Structure 1
Amino acid sequence: MTRFKPDLRNQPLNTDWRFFRGDAPDYSSPSLDDAAWRAVDVPHDWSIEDLPGSDPALNAVVRDADTAPIWQKVTEAPVLIGPFDARLNDNRTSRQNANSFMSAYTVNGVGWYRKRLQLPSLSDDARVEITFDGVYMNSQVWLNGVMLAEHPYGYTAFTVDLTPHLRRDGDNVIAVRVANLGRNSRWYSGSGIYRHVWLDIVRNAGFEQSGLTVTTPSVSASTATVQVVARTVNAPADATLVTRVRDQAGRTVAETTGSPASASTLALSRPKRWSPETPNLYTVECELRSGDRVLDRMSSPLGVRTVEIDAANGLRINGKPYKLRGGCVHHDNGLLGAAAIDRAEVRKVELLKARGFNALRSAHNPSSPAFLDACDRLGILVIEESFDMWHLAKNPDDYHLYFDGWWKKDLTTMVRRAANHPSVIIWSVGNEIPERGEEDGVATAKMLVDEVHRLDPTRPATQAIPSFKVAGQTKTLDEIFNAAAAPVDVVGYNYQLKRYDPDHQLYPNRVMIGTESFPKEVDLIWRQVDRSPYILGDFVWSAMDYLGEASIGRVGLDGDARGQQDYPWFAAWCGDLDLIGQQRPQSLARDVVWGLSELEIAVQRPIPDGKEETPYDWGWRDELPSWSWAGAEGKTLSLSVYTRADRITVEVNGRKVADQALKPSETFMNEVPVTYEPGRLVVTAWRSGRRIARRTLETAGPATALRLSVDRARLANSRDELAYVTASVVDAAGRLVPDAVHVVELESVGPVELAAFGNANPRGVASFRQPVAKTWHGQALAIIRPKGPSGNASLTIRSKGLAGGVVRVSIG
């Protein structure tokens, strides 16, 4: 059992919970025998777990969805497998399970968590609080059979004071009911206590939750002024506030003592400023004292930087111009579901930074503390978003039911918890709000923006405005758009590339930002953004693939019905990176558009004669960086060449088959017809007669082995840690076999457990919790998590007919 300490904040309360998927009136009772309930640690998402009746043996069955082109309709998916239930396709099975394709055909419902809590000896003035970083959704919290709190919104933190009902000298029972019911989300939400839980044991006199606001009113290369406002409760008349700033080495670089009733001002000499390239961080520490006694302590991150935004010069950080190379991200972590395990949050940010992103938008809800911490450390700028709806519903059971009673508390929580993160540069008060252009919608936007400015006058506010209107609206789209734009500081444009120039002519002082865009418009968008100082940047939908909104990025053949909601599609299939973090072809194109690469290539999968491939709105044609197309010998294939070069040459098996002049001033995206024959494809890019880059693809031979790689071979012994192991099917020369589908089996030895195992196939429904999976596009991903004592662990992955692979990980 966890041992807790007095006078200490942020003590993890994540382990040894009991969980039951179901509901009954007595589940809050402290006398309930919950020994038969399942032991879980949080963060935990029950909707990604296997459903009752799911047969684990189904994971080893290869079906048409595993082998067919992504544009081909499939028919062999089981009705029930892992967390997926095809019966949700009709939206009528039950109120508990009504989200269907929006929530990836997973099951929501009601679940209960219980935990026994033994506390140390407490002082008479002790205050004990529990904070939930995120529970989806409609949570109720009991202590010793007494309900203490309810919280509808699934994406904001909330704190519950346990003190009045504590048993100070015995066991305490915390019970949490989570009710994820009805149609309440447009994407996969997950269900349960999916973020961290914390215990604070403090004094009655102390700081409020998120009680520090840290700003830097003036910054230069030689000095910076740091201002700290501390919000306290029950502070005695003689209370003093000690405030210090520590650098990344832990050294105190500034300190002052004053009254908690007034702001503390400190000066930093030659500050190390925070920016995307140099994300230098300090820590602000505050102590509330009464005489020699420390009543409470609280700390906060500090990034010393200036942010300036206007239409004439765009965005400047510390005086340097930036364009926001942005992507939208949902909160899920792929095969892990919504569980916000720290390493999963960090890895997401790492992967996207490696692909050139310098900004992310938390679509469409406040993000986790671990995500913002990662953005701070890695130098990623953030648009932190609050709501996907206000008064009008997008789904019958969504947050619109609670907006009037809860918006102010939830908005305050978002701003208070995120305001000290230097990565956050813009607040968003809403996304594609149906009533945005009507009188009441404009009033609501102004109310939200005014409250954001009151809470944080240092940052601008935006809302993401789309190009559609809802039934019954009589205003024109221009009238709706401009009414919605009026209350905000930065106007968010969703999928409205054609509006930028005419709107700038009409509103030359308007600051614009592309809050969502289609992947296929990447080249056109960035030509517009780069030449327009008044456009701060663009955020593609989406940076990383996600669960739910199934198949919005699918492709079809001409004449196909859209079929957007068809099971077994469960993922969106529109990310630059796929569900396991691998680059998709649009990411290759973006590498060139953003200047990360001079040349990238991909080959369109062969399509039936007489047909054309048609990507839907968020789609990209089915192409791979592959020259392995068995059965297409002699057929003309379409080669995508992404480059800023003015000329390319193409060779197949040493013969030049194309020598083509390009017009990089018009496009970086080119298509070249090439007749397929197995062997070696070489594309060379030239500029002014000089070779600038070369890419080579080789036909892979038969699969012979599994090659394993692990992202980190040493982990701390913490449940917040994960190791990501990629299994790739390779031939005798070590080349990836790109369309290889193999059943793979996993065995782990040592102090770890399997957290998830699967692949990136957006319609490859399966259990992600079994030690059996399949490769897709030649790859699978295993995620392992420390459990138990420190030591060494090994992970072996095997497949029939292939040489297996082993990786080793040190824990501790």
Structure 2
Amino acid sequence: MNYFKTKHLPFSLLLLFLALTTNAFSQARNTTNFDSDWQFSKGDVLGAEKPQFNAKQWTKLNVPHDWSIEGPYDRDNTSGRGGGYLPTGIGWYRKTFEINKEDAKKRTSIEFDGIMANSDVWINGTHLGKRPYGYISFSYDLTPYLNFDKPNVIAVRADNSTQPASRWYTGAGIYRHVRLVSVNPTHFTHWGTFITTPVATATRGVVNLKVEIENKGIAGDYNVQIDIIDKAGKIVKTVESQKNIAANATGLITQDIEIANPKLWNIDQPNLYTATTKLYSGKTLIDNQTISFGIKKSEFIAETGYWLNGKNIKLFGVCLHHDGGAVGAAVPLGVWKERFKKLKEVGVNAIRTSHNPVSPEFLDLCDQMGFVVMNETFDTWTAAKHNGEKGYNLYFKEWWEQDTKDMILRDRNHPSIVIYSIGNEIHDDLSYPEGYKTYKMQEDVVKKYDNTRPVTMALFRPANSKVYLSGFADHMDVVGQNYRENELIAAHEAHPNWKVIGTENTHVISQWLALRDKPYMAGQFLWTGYDYLGEADWPETTNNQGLFDRAGNWKQQGLQRDSWWSTEAVVHIVRKSDNAGAGSWVADWTPTDFDTYDNAKVQVYSNCDEVELFLNEKSLGSMKKPENDSPREWNVTFAEGTIKAIGKNNGKVVAQEAFTSAGEPAKIIITKSNPTLSNNWDDVSFITATVVDEKGIPCVNADNLIKFTISDSGKIIGVDNGNVMSHESYQSPERHAYNGKAIAIIKASQNGGKIEIKATAEGLESGAITVDIVAEKN
């Protein structure tokens, strides 16, 4: 029997695992979650890579783990403005495990989805390798160094002490998932299966599979069975192939599989298939793998922009950094699910991974929810950038090819990915032809492993670097530019054969109109979808250019973008926070000082044909939709009460919004984003505590200290309020309200029952809520 065991694996779980492992599949691949039961120590530790090292005093924890987010914030931390003034340094991880002697003939590897940063890995004291790039996934073969039926020790050293290393927050440690993979000597190559769909129409699809097999065993004939399975679990096609593979050689099997009337993958209906490939020696199953994919046709056309399955669409995109706010860089998938839901609500259909490979499950979620992706490799090549002078630029020459290859091989089967970017605002000399060589060598590596998608980069001030005039841009598959939309428009109109896209854009209306009114503009990626840690000047700790803040609260630019991109009828009211048009835009009707606030500048963001504004049921007039999508604006003499906007299409009310002035804070109400949780690291619920008055109206100016308590059946993994000036701990169970709100992100810590959460504040009636714990969700 083929199974993995740790010293801490409960006997009941071991019995369950054995019961679920069939005789057939015990002969094949075994992938084991390797996240649990690590020991951790912050700081450099001499000799910690040695198996006999005594780590009993180290902290016991599970990964993914980001120790940097624990803080504290300090202006003097060497991460500086780029890293958000959070601590950096060296962290060590160790894990002890055993493998059965009967698996000695198997090949066992360890797979890391990401370690931040400059990681070194040892097995039983033998150094396996170093990977500087904290965002890349990689694996090591453990086979030659393993002990069987006695302990093995994995040791990992992660070092981000050389600072400043990034222009944004990176996190620290083993911050993504880890797996142990055991295969037979003859097996499918790691990331060696490539699935494409050269024909994708509503009536006919052709799925091409290139399956690479590595033979570390004996020469012979090997059979491959491929099942194509639809989202309902039905096998829609099965094909078989045979290949004779010599010992210590690699064989490649190529198959074209025709699918009648396929369900195409698109933004509105992200239909997915799976390809299950099984490798046989005779009748013995010796390896198996399942890969998700989508059938689609994606193309960029110079005159008309982006097309998906024959439909011309605009890419309404956002840039996203990899942190999840209060949870730092170790982001449960449930956090991304909540964020993606809100981005969908705004009308976002595209994501740029800024400016590095993301976790595999992030891309899985894009596949499942219908986002198209610009998948990006690097923020720097060889030239340094301010506030990140000691970053990847120090390693680019040695590591760019391996890191680029690994990202493409890992990610190329994701249907969500429609374009690759190989650099963001690169400061290297891009003069042609010398500067173009660095671009071209990267493009060649991308296309060596995936020639089905175009390659771009996010050009930085191309009018200054002369890339539009030198010949550089002529050779790009798609010309991508950050900001300065008029330059990109002029460049296309001077070169109508260029395909163009806005790779990074602000929220102003002129940039929206550049996308709306120019058919050839394939899309834009706003900076950013969510506020992100770092790239901020003290006392701020967070870059605040998102459509949503760290805690998931709507911001003014998100409300306005909703009126431009949403397919639903939208009405949003905002006012200037201070008297006579001063201050910032806020979405409420409760000024901080009623006595000095009398002249309210009000705007309504709406995609409706007509909007009428009311104050205390008295009409303040109607306005038609402006041709340029600008907001409708009223100067209102403030009066306490209710302001309301009604949106109409063809005279029919289709949307409305109202705000009422709040009284004094009286109580806390609690809501939950997810009513049920399973005991899974990636499953979370956002608990929002809102301070309200006696009538339940939100008190947007309240800043009470809110204390969260939770029953033993759950745990709080982070608290936040979205305030970019706050230096409070994310791990504390309390947080000051900001704009009247605070959140706690919770998980289940047992397999059944209920989680009880309570929020209290001095002088306020407390709030409580429960979340049910359910069996593992599919």
Q: TM-score, normalised by structure 2?
A: 0.91
Is this contact kept in 1: 2:192–2:211, CA < 8 A? yes
Q: Deviations over 1:321-354 (max 9, x none)?
A: 1110100000000100000322223332222122
CA distance in 1, matches of 2:503, 2:92: 37
Cα drift, residue 245 of structure 1: 0.9
Give the Å deviation of 1:534.
Answer: 1.4
| Aligned residue identity for 2:316 | R
Q: CA deviation at 1:674?
A: 1.5
Partner of 1:446: 440
Describe the superposition over 1:359-384 as per-residue Cα deviations: whole angstroms up to 9, x where unpaired. 00000001111111111111111001
Counterpart pick for 2:578 among 586, 606, 619: 606
Q: What is the aligned-residue RMSD (CA, Å)? A: 2.1
Q: 1:300 to 1:336 in 2, by over 3 A?
A: same
Distance 1:742-1:788 versus aligned 2 partners, 3 A rule: same
Cα distance in 1 for partners of 2:322, 2:608 equals 38
- Mean CA deviation greater in 447-456 or 422-431: 447-456
Contact 1:650 1:684 in 2 (8 A): yes
Secondary structure in 2 matching 1:23 = coil
Q: Are 1:242 and 2:225 counterparts?
A: yes
Structure 1's 725 and 436: CA in aligned 2 closer, same or farther, altered over 3 A? farther
Structure with the larger RCO, 1 or 2 (CA within 8 Å, 6+ apart): 1
Answer yes or no: is the 8 Å Cα contact 1:436–1:445 preserved in 2.
Answer: no
**Residues 346-425 of structure 1: matches in 2 within 5 Å?**
346-394=337-385, 395-425=388-418
Distance, in Å, in 1 between the alignment partners of 2:97 and 2:165 is: 33
Residue 40 (1) aligns with residue 61 (2): yes
Matched with 2:430 is 437
Cα displacement (A) at 1:634: 5.1
Paired position in structure 1 for 2:165: 184
Most deviating of 720-729 and 624-633: 624-633
Q: Does the aligned pair in 2 maintain the 1:633–1:677 contact within 8 Å? A: no
Deviation at 1:624, TM superposition (A): 2.5
**Helix, strand or coil at the partner of 1:486:** helix
Aligned-partner SS, 1:802: coil
Moved more, 596-605 or 453-462: 596-605
1:152-167 equivalent positions in 2, closer than 5 A: 152-167=132-147
TM-aligned CA deviation for residue 529 of structure 1: 1.5
- Aligned AA (1:467): R
Separation (CA, whole Å) in 1 of partners of 2:753 and 2:265: 37
Equivalent residue for 2:248?
none
- For 2:365 and 2:280, how far apart are their aligned partners in 1? 32
Question: How many angstroms apart in 2 are the aligned matches of 1:431 and 1:481?
Answer: 20
Cα distance, 1:225 vs. partner?
Answer: 1.1
* Alpha carbons of structure 1 residues 198 and 683: separation in structure 2 relative to 1, 3 Å: same
3-state secondary structure, aligned to 1:118: strand
Q: What is the deviation of 1:169?
A: 2.1
The verdict on how the C-alpha distance between 1:217 and 1:689 changes in structure 2, with shifts beyond 3 A counting, is closer
Aligned to 1:588: 559
Distance 1:8 1:344, change over 3 A: farther
Matched, 1:110 2:90: yes
Q: Secondary structure at the match of 1:116?
A: strand
Structure 1 equivalent of residue 302 of structure 2: 311
Aligned to 1:494: 482
The correspondence of residues 236-385 of structure 1 with structure 2, limited to 5 A, is 236-258=219-241, 259=243, 261-385=252-376
| Offset from partner CA, 1:35-68 (integer Å, 9 cap, x none) | 1111111111010014xxxxxxxxxxxxxxxxxx
What is the 5 A alignment of 1:678-689?
678-685=640-647
Native 8 Å contact 1:449 1:488 kept in 2: no
TM superposition shift of 1:686 = 5.5
- Provide structure 2 residue ranges, at least 5 long, that are not aligned to the other structure: 1-7, 244-250
Does residue 571 (structure 1) correspond to residue 542 (structure 2)? The answer is: yes
Residue number in structure 2 paired with 1:63: none
Residue 230 (structure 1) aligns with: 211
- CA–CA distance in structure 1, aligned partners of residues 711 and 273 of structure 2: 40
- What residue identity is the alignment partner of 1:133? D
For the residue of structure 2 that corresponds to 1:404, the secondary structure is: helix
Q: How many Å separate the matches in 2 of 1:757 and 1:177?
A: 29
* Distance in 2 separating the partners of 1:765 and 1:632: 32
Q: Is the 8 A contact 2:112 2:139 kept in 1?
A: yes
Distance 1:9 1:403 in 2: 35
Deviations 1:437-468 (A, max 9, x none): 22443111111112212211110111001227
For residue 28 of structure 1, give the secondary structure of its aligned residue in structure 2. coil
Q: Distance in 1 between matches of 2:43 and 2:565?
A: 49
Is the counterpart of residue 457 in structure 1 residue 451 in structure 2?
Answer: yes
> Closer, same or farther in 2 for the Cα pair 1:438/1:777, shift >3 Å?
same
Structure 1 counterpart of 2:210, one-letter code? V
Pair 1:582–1:476, CA change in 2 (3 A): closer
Structure 2 counterpart of 1:210: 191
Partner of 2:473: 485
Aligned to 1:625: 588
Matched, 1:133 2:121: no
1:219 corresponding residue in structure 2: 200
2:726 is the counterpart of 1:764: yes
Deviations 1:188-238 (A, max 9, x none): 000011110011011122122112100111122222111111122116431
User: Displacement of 1:246 after TM fit?
Assistant: 1.0
Query: For residue 534 of structure 2, what is the aligned residue in structure 1?
Result: 548
Aligned to 1:640: 603
Tell me the secondary structure at the aligned position of residue 407 of structure 2: helix
Q: Residues 626, 190 of structure 1: CA spacing in aligned structure 2 closer, same or farther, 3 A cutoff?
A: farther
CA–CA distance in structure 1, aligned partners of residues 274 and 33 of structure 2: 20
Q: Which residue is equivalent to 1:91?
A: none
Deviation (angstroms), 1:426: 0.6
Distance in 1, matches of 2:643 and 2:104, equals 77
Distance 1:22 1:627 in 2: 49
SS at match of 2:81: helix
Q: Distance in 2 between matches of 1:641 and 1:202?
A: 60
Counterpart of 2:618 in structure 1 is 655
Give the CA deviation at 1:649: 4.0
Matched, 1:713 2:675: yes
* CA positional deviation for 1:479: 4.2
Segment drifting more, 369-378 vs 203-212: 203-212
Unaligned ranges ≥5, structure 1? 51-82, 89-97, 469-474, 551-564, 614-620
Give aligned pairs, total: 738
TM-score between the two structures when normalised by the length of structure 1: 0.87
Residue type of the alignment partner of 2:73: F
The 1:365/1:479 distance shift into structure 2, 3 A limit, reads: closer
1:526 aligns with 2:526: no
Aligned to 1:672: 634
1:568 shift after superposition: 2.1
Q: Identity, % of aligned pairs?
A: 33
Partner of 1:554: none
The alignment partner of 1:665 has SS state of coil
State whether residues 797 and 806 of structure 1, in contact with CA within 8 Å, keep that contact through their aligned partners in structure 2. yes
Code of the residue aligned with 1:541 in structure 2: it is W
Secondary structure (helix, strand or coil) at the match of 2:220 reads: coil
1:501 corresponds to which letter in structure 2? Answer: I
Secondary structure of the equivalent of 2:402? helix
Instruction: Give the Cα–Cα distance (whole angstroms) in 2 for the partners of residues 524 and 685 of structure 1.
Output: 24
Taking the aligned partners of 1:124 and 1:694, their CA distance within structure 2 comes to 67
Cα distance change of structure 1 residues 464 and 482 upon mapping to structure 2, 3 Å threshold: farther
Give, as a single letter, the amino acid of the residue that structure 2 aligns with 1:459. Answer: R
Contact 2:82 / 2:535 at 8 angstroms: preserved in 1?
Answer: yes
Alignment of 1:5-16 (within 5 A): 7-16=28-37
- Counterpart-to-counterpart distance in 1, 2:298 and 2:44: 49
Distance, in Å, in 2 between the alignment partners of 1:691 and 1:344 is 35
Contact 1:103-1:548 at 8 Å conserved across structures: yes
Q: 1:652 to 1:612 in 2, by over 3 A?
A: closer
Residues 462 and 491, structure 1, Cα contact 8 Å, conserved in 2? yes
Q: C-alpha separation between the residues in 2 aligned to 1:717 and 1:767? A: 25
SS in 2 for 1:592: helix
Letter in 2 for 1:625: D
Match of residue 754 from structure 1:
716
Structure 1 residues 140-179: Cα deviation after superposition (integer angstroms, max 9, x where no partner): 0011111111111011101011111111120001000000
Q: Distance in 2 between matches of 1:671 and 1:425?
A: 39
CA distance in 2, matches of 1:176, 1:344: 27
